[in-house]
Amino acid sequence: MLSDVNIVKIAVLVSGNGSNLQALIDAQIGGDIPKGKIVMVLSSCSDAYALVRAQNAGIETAVVQRKNFTQGSQFDNAILTVLRQSEAEVVVLAGFMSILGSDIIDEFQNRIINVHPSLIPSFCGKGCYGIKVHRDVINSGVKVTGATVHFVNEIPDGGKIILQKAVDVAEDDTPETLQSKVMSQAEWIILPKATAQLCEKIYDDKISNSN
């Protein structure tokens, strides 16, 4: 299937360890993203372990660091250049710690997805990411949290929800144990699934338009 010219090209944007990227790579290897292929992994950090994961899987990598640009628009343009060169059709944010500007969002309208470690609209929005989310969940006393995959728009965590999966919060959970549970029980499941669904839609649209 991966030799099909209509296979949807995926770029994954990362900043850190890359566990969600690994879930995507494993899903691709296992045939769970049959109409998509990861062609580029772009990191905002030069020492992100996600780059090693990508290289081990034979995926092309690039580094674009915000600190190297005086303006956000320059940072966005550098990212856009990499995305265009890779011919990416879908952009997956998998632990990407920078906010994308309107130029990128407009060019990939309804083709950028993000995974957030809570059940949106709870514990989300500007400044709510990473371990802070899980700390806030525990401090609130709620008994259920989870993860959400959503389309990306110009409002942080404000795009249309694609998939959600709930995770129980145990009495003895710490932010760290809860983070691990949410990743393994939700994020690593719904991010590849949502990616596969989006790729299938784009693939089918391309087939329809070519007939």
**Which residues are designated catalytic?**
116
CA distances from 192 to 25, 143, 175 (A): 9, 26, 24
Strand, coil or helix: what is 18?
Answer: coil
Structure tokens at 27: 């899903």
Residues 86/60, Cβ–Cβ less than 8 Å: yes
160: Cβ–Cβ under 8 A, 6 or more apart, which residues?
150, 151
DSSP 126-154: TT--THHHHHHHHHHT-SEEEEEEEE--S
